Structures are given as structure tokens and as C-alpha cells.
Amino acid sequence: MKKLLCAMLALMLTLASEGSIKVASLHPLLSDMARVVGGNEVEVVDLFPANGELHAFEPTAADVAAAAGAELVLACGKGVEPYLQDLRDSLPSTTRIVELGATVPDVFIPGTRIADPHWWNSPSAMKRASRALRTELERTFPAGRETFAKGQRLYSRKMDELRRIAVLSFVPIEQEKRILVCSHAAMSHFCKEFGFTAIAVHGVAQESEGDTASLARILSQLRQQKVTCLFYGVNDSPKIMQTIASQVGATTRPLVLDGIYPALGSYEEIFLFNVGNIRKGLFLE
């Protein structure tokens, strides 16, 4: 009898740990958000591979099969996943793809009419997306309403705290020093939130071609504004930024631009890594 009770308890615990809804995610930061907002009611399936490159990733047949077993598939949206329509066509009608970035207002890359898709670099945008996620989870599993409300409040508080830490960290950086020169155009949402000017050497992805005229213009601007530090994406090659830095007398530091860096597990760690490097790079005591 005791053995039977133990077996039943083990089975109950297994069922509980599996969650009531299966949510597949196309970005590690969205997986992180789903775990906090969804709590015990959600089982998260990560489709993005460890060490994957965001702008080059495409789901494999195994990923499509895993997504098909989920009620929701979380995507960044804003064009980050160019394969999304194909994925949608391959999934059963019981699986819905939710583009959480669709709820975040566009921020244009300075001097262009191109919306920067890297919205996760803004904690306010993440907070907004977590509210959209909560609504989607409630729609899928109304009985989890209380859990999702509690999880979303917790997530919002985390984002508010990170925002507060960043604002305080940037206080010593004078307004004219608030220039964030990055290897690809990924920090427009961040810059808008924290009062920086974004300059990108490449376009939305590191692979985008930069032209010679714009590079000459950037060099002239960096010299004129006496920029002290340039930032390269941890997943991008630092060589171009190091070459430019040597020409304008600046240093270089890494930033996690695409929200993916296996050495740092959570959104908090990634965000604080970026805040710390920006402060060290731009605030010279």
C-alpha cells in the first residue's frame, strides 16, 4: 500500500511538473519570460539552440515537430523570424504563433525608416510583452488566471527594478557622452528608453553591408563627438569595431545585442552585463 501511494505521488509530481500548457519559444529571453509569467502551469520548450545565431537561425524538422506539440509558439516578431509564415503553414490549427514584439511600438534606426527589431533590449518593452503573454496564456488556459497574474506582476517588478538600476548607473554619464556606437543596429529601443543616441556601423544584422561613404561619415562623427568607447556584439566579430576604435582613439567593449549569450542565463544577467559595460566604457573618472 505504501509503495502504491509513493508511485501515485511520483506520478502526480511528474504531471504537475509538466504544466497545463506547453509553450514553445523561438528566443531564450521569451522562454525566460514564459517561465516567470506561466509558473507551474506552463512547460516551456526551447526551440532556439545553445550557441545559435539569431539572424541565421531557422527551425529544423525536429523543431517544427516540437512546436506542433505546443499550444503556443512565442516569437519575437518585427521581422526577426523571416521563416514565420512557413512555420505557421507547417503547424496544426491547434498551435498558435504569438509575436510578442507586435505589442511594442516601433523605434526607428536613426536616420532611416527601418524599425529596429531588437525590442528586448528595453525593459519597458519586455514588461509590455509580458502583459501580452499573460493575456495569451489566460486565453489558452483560463483556469491558470491567478498564476499568470501573479507571474506577470513578478516579471513587471523585475523589469522596473532593472530599469531603476540602469537609470542610476547612467547618472554620471553626461548627455554629450551618451552615444552608443554598436556593430549592428540593435540598441535603438534601449537608447530611446535611457536617453542615448544610437549609431550602428552595420544594419540590423552584422552581415548587412556597410558602405564606404557612411563609414567615413561615422568616423568623422566619432572624432567630432570625441567618442571614447565603441561596442561590438558578443556574437559579432570585434575586428571592425577594433579597427574603427584605433582610428578614432577609442576603446571597445562587448554587449549582448541579440539577447543570446549562453554564458549569461537570464534577462537580468544579460541586461546588467550591458549596463555595466556601457557605464565603464562611457564614464571616465
Residue from 100, 186, 191, 218 touching Zn ion (CB under 5 A): that is 186
Q: Phi and psi for 240 in degrees, rounded to 5?
A: -60, -45
- State which residue, 89 or 209, has the beta carbon closest to Zn ion: 209
Q: How many residues bind Zn ion (CB under 5 A)?
A: 2
**Given the DSSP bridges, would you call strands 251-255 and 229-233 parallel, antiparallel or unpaired?**
parallel
**What is the SS3 assignment for 256?**
coil
For residue 187, state whether it binds Zn ion (rule: CB under 5 A): no
Closest to Zn ion by CB, 73 vs 185, is 185
Question: Which residue, 148 or 271, has its beta carbon nearer to Zn ion?
Answer: 271
Q: Is 258 in the site for Zn ion (CB under 5 A)?
A: yes
User: CB within 8 A of 109, min separation 6: which ones?
Assistant: 115, 116, 185, 188, 198, 200, 203, 204
Three-state SS for 244?
helix
Residue with cell 497574474: 149
Copy the grid coordinates of residue 240. Answer: 571592425
Question: Interacting stretch for Zn ion, rule CB under 5 A, among 43-51, 178-186, 192-200, 276-284?
Answer: 178-186
Q: Closest residue (Cβ) to Zn ion?
A: 258
What does each C-alpha distance from 42 to 54, 103, 140, 143 come to in angstroms? 24, 22, 11, 12
In the bound complex, what is the minimum distance in angstroms from residue 243's beta carbon to Zn ion?
20
- Segment 217-256, which members bind Zn ion (CB under 5 A)? none
- Of residues 51 and 93, the one with the C-beta less far from Zn ion: 51
Residue 116, interface with Zn ion (CB under 5 A)? no
Min dist CB 101 to Zn ion, Å, is 13
**Interface contacts to Zn ion, rule CB under 5 A:** 186, 258
